[in-house]
């Protein structure tokens, strides 16, 4: 745990200390994996995403597939009966595909969207291969209620950064493009 620099009781407490603008404004690479990726899709304006992409930032987003079995299982676990998570995730994917469609070719290629259909374990956010946010999904709890770990740096041999970086990369390899 040499590289764990902060632990928060919930995502909302984390967000008050680390707003989206602090996380993303100067980023050159953003890798995000989770259910609906609200911090990026709902917490960061399209025009700022466009600026990042136009300035050369690479963004890879890995969503839980809104058409898959795993999202339906998560909805049951969180006791949603009206496809809330499916709808939110599909909306966020649509928002980013709409943005991507409005970008020039080079910028659009830097916004990569994928889906996966696996049991959801973590929401991962890795910025510039140096800053990692890990949010586990707890049984029968909304994601926003989960604890959040902040991992800084990727040089600690016995640290957690390489573990979660590998988790993201392996999930990305198994995923499907949108």
CATH code of 75's domain: 3.30.870.10
pLDDT of residue 145: 82
- Give yes or no for residue 156 having a pLDDT over 70: no
Q: What is the pTM of this model?
A: 0.95
pLDDT of residue 17: 96
pLDDT of residue 120: 93
Number of structural domains (the chain) is 1
- Who contacts 144 (Cβ-Cβ below 8 Å, separation ≥6)? 10, 11, 12
Instruction: Give pLDDT tens digits for 20-45.
Output: 999 999 999 999 999 999 999 999 99
- 46/140: higher pLDDT: 46
Q: How far is CA 135 from CA 14, 61, 176, in A?
A: 10, 16, 23
Tell me the C-alpha distance between 109 and 19, whole Å.
Answer: 26
Tell me the C-alpha distance between 144 and 81, whole Å.
Answer: 19
Going by C-alpha positions, the residue among 165, 152, 148 that lies closest to residue 17 is 148
- Who contacts 80 (Cβ-Cβ below 8 Å, separation ≥6)? none
- Who contacts 16 (Cβ-Cβ below 8 Å, separation ≥6)? none
- Give yes or no for residue 154 having a pLDDT over 80: no
Which range marks the domain in which residue 149 is found? 4-177
Tell me the C-alpha distance between 112 and 173, whole Å.
Answer: 13
């Amino acid at each position: 745990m040499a590289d764990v620099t902060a632990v928060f009781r919930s995502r909302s407490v984390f967000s008050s200390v680390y707003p989206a603008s602090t996380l993303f404004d100067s980023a050159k690479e953003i890798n995000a994996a989770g259910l609906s990726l609200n911090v990026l899709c709902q917490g960061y304006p399209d025009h700022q995403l466009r600026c990042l992409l136009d300035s050369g930032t690479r963004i890879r987003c890995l969503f839980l597939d809104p058409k898959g079995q795993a999202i339906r299982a998560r909805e049951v676990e969180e006791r949603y009966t009206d496809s809330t998570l499916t709808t939110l995730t599909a909306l966020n994917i649509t928002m980013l595909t709409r943005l991507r469609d409005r970008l020039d070719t080079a910028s659009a290629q830097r916004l990569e969207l994928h889906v996966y259909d696996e049991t959801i374990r973590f929401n991962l956010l890795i910025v510039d291969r140096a800053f990692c946010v890990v949010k586990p999904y707890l049984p029968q709890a909304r994601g926003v209620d989960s604890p959040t770990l902040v991992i800084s740096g990727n040089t600690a041999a016995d640290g957690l950064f390489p573990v979660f970086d590998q988790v993201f990369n392996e999930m990305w390899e198994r995923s499907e493009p949108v």
